[in-house]
Amino acid sequence: MSVILNEPPQGAPSAAKGRRSEESRHYLVSEILRFSQNDICVQNDTEAGIAVGAPHGGADAMKVPDPQAVRKAFGRIARRYDLLNTLLSLGLHKAWRRRAAALCGEGRWALDVCVGTGDLSRRLARRFRRVVGVDFSRPMLQVAQRRGGAALIEGDALALPFGDDAFDCAVIGFSLRNVADLGALFREMARVVRPGGRVVSLELTRPPGPLLGWAHRWYVGAVVPAVGALVDREAYRHLAETVGAFPEPEAIAAIMAESGLREVRIQRLSGGIVTIHVAVVP
């Protein structure tokens, strides 16, 4: 079942905090939490309002992802997404998610941006009283809905439908490569997290060092597209291309800092195949 939210929060999203009135603060979070775990709330302007974006920063030139193409691709692969994750990561993604969830800390409300099928949310639900997940792909959300663990919203990560300081933490898993404007994304995540709360990202990266680097290039360049083609050739070719061209963790950390986040830390897992960024909202 889905619920259409016809009343978006008051006031336009702002990069600077504190422009919204006290009355509008948390308005949509409490509204969403009134619905059961199994409803998908639809931000009423999702279709029309998906932000287009700006080039990713960093040393590597990566094409700006086209949000509509990304949305369609995840719509096509939603039912097989979890299985492919387990196959292609050889099961390691579970440990990576566990680590990212642990670095989110504990608290009342957590936000899972680009929630997908909700795997990370289910881990966050052990640490936070309630978890809200946002994604613009309805088929991905429908899988998450069946599995439970989070209140779900169909919406745009670049225009989060919440007031300032609404959450204790915001996390994004394996999605930076799909988002069209990283600066805008981190500013939005920082805006909706209370001062002292954390913004966390878990992302596929390229391992440093010649041997692991070579093995990784082979795996991502040959194995991922071949296995992925069994489900959706284009989507998994995109995955391989974006991992190869995505900015280095240090460049991502710099974008986070430029977006107003503080104490940005980088933690590499599995030799650097995956990187977690943790930052604090000032």
Q: How far apart are CA 207 and CA 211, in angstroms?
A: 9
For tokens 């989507």, what's the residue? 235
Does 145 sit near ligand SAM (CB under 6 A)?
Answer: no
Does 178 sit near ligand SAM (CB under 6 A)?
Answer: yes
Does 192 sit near ligand SAM (CB under 6 A)?
Answer: no
Question: Are 132 and 109 in contact, with CB atoms under 8 Å apart?
Answer: yes
Q: Which is nearer to ligand SAM, 69 or 223 (CB)?
A: 69
Question: Are 20 and 28 in contact, with CB atoms under 8 Å apart?
Answer: no
Does 183 sit near ligand SAM (CB under 6 A)?
Answer: no
The CB density around residue 218, as the number of other CB atoms within 10 Å, is: 10
Does 204 sit near ligand SAM (CB under 6 A)?
Answer: no
> Regarding beta strands 274-280 and 262-269, do their DSSP bridges make them parallel or antiparallel, or are they unpaired?
antiparallel
Interface residues for ligand SAM in 38-77 (CB under 6 A)?
67, 70-71, 74
Does 84 sit near ligand SAM (CB under 6 A)?
Answer: no
DSSP state of 194: E
Segment contacting ligand SAM (CB under 6 A): 6-14, 101-109, 152-160, 207-215?
152-160
Does 173 sit near ligand SAM (CB under 6 A)?
Answer: yes
Does 224 sit near ligand SAM (CB under 6 A)?
Answer: no
Beta strand ranges found along the chain (DSSP E): 2-5, 40-43, 107-113, 128-135, 151-154, 167-173, 193-204, 262-269, 274-280
Q: Which is nearer to ligand SAM, 235 or 253 (CB)?
A: 235
Applying CB under 6 A, the residues found at the interface with ligand SAM are 67, 70-71, 74, 114-116, 119-120, 134-137, 140, 156-158, 173-175, 178-179
